[in-house]
Amino acid sequence: MRLSINHITEYRYGEPQHMIEQSHRLYPSEFAGQRMLSWAVEADGAHFGSYFYDGAGDRIRTMSIAEVAAVKIAVTGEVETSDTNGVVVSQRDKINPLVYLRNSEVTRAGPLLKEAAVAAIAATDAGPLDQAHAMTQHIYQAIDYRSGATDSSYTAEQALQQGSGVCQDQTHCLLAIARLNQIPARYVTGYLHTDAEGDSHDASHAWAELYIDGLGWVGFDPTNACCPDQRYIRIGSGVDARGAALIRGISRGAGQESMDVSVQINAAQQ
């Protein structure tokens, strides 16, 4: 499947900033289920550094721009995808999977997550792959997707207690209960294209990858109760949402910052 992306991120500041410095994780991952056909990241007046790859194989590039009150970062490109049943094999991924058994502040388990970790796999005596599917289904049923129900400060425990959230919350909860069950799990950022029935939404999206012995990293999307297929474009990964953020950075100057994001995904002609 060929998917075209038009992703615009605009920052506005109450006063001109002396310097804005950012780290971009905005480039499609390289693995058997995904091939980049064309891709560009642009911002007027910006200076871009050289590309480099982090330990997980994500492509990173820095950007700096001086004396501006607004910045518009435009990502455009086309990617060819195929369904690998969620399996992601990257030759650039050098991190030991056991690293992803550790938690961050937002995925640290409280009593509700500990209870969910036990309940999710109670009905299966099978191995880690079936357990991963069971945990994905458990979070899908426990947390209703509701746009605006949470914000970026919510922890997995808080989202589970509330029973509603967005893909970030559902993914954090899946990471937490997978790690409690001694399955390494990492947060993934990317894009998801609407299918013909409209079951999904065009947007930047988040899901999890769990490390299954014999298979390696396998994607699980608790928002849609499925493994990523050809509708998904994988960008990067981390221990949690902050670690896998598409854009991270700092600005030097006074005034409030506001941000607007728009994402358009289209199926291109073969």
**For each of the chain's 270 residues, which pLDDT tens digit applies?**
999 999 999 999 999 999 999 999 999 999 989 999 999 999 999 999 999 999 999 999 999 999 999 999 999 999 999 999 999 998 899 999 999 999 999 999 999 999 999 999 998 888 999 999 999 999 999 999 998 999 989 999 999 999 999 999 999 999 999 999 999 999 999 999 976 554 445 568 999 999 999 999 999 999 999 999 999 999 999 999 999 999 999 999 988 999 999 999 998 765
- What per-residue confidence (pLDDT) applies to 245? 96
How many DSSP H helices and E strands does the chain contain?
4, 14
- What per-residue confidence (pLDDT) applies to 254? 87
Same domain for 18 and 110: no
Q: What is the count of structural domains for the chain?
A: 2
Q: Are the C-beta atoms of 88 and 216 separated by less than 8 Å?
A: yes
Same domain for 71 and 87: no
Same domain for 104 and 9: no
- What per-residue confidence (pLDDT) applies to 123? 83
59: CATH: 2.60.40.2250
Same domain for 135 and 26: no
Same domain for 54 and 177: no
Same domain for 129 and 38: no
How far, in Å, CA of 144 to CA of 235, rounded? 25
Same domain for 26 and 109: no
Same domain for 133 and 209: yes
- What per-residue confidence (pLDDT) applies to 255? 85
Same domain for 212 and 126: yes
CA 110 vs CA 72, 101, 177: distances in Å: 40, 16, 10
Same domain for 68 and 155: no
- What per-residue confidence (pLDDT) applies to 198? 47
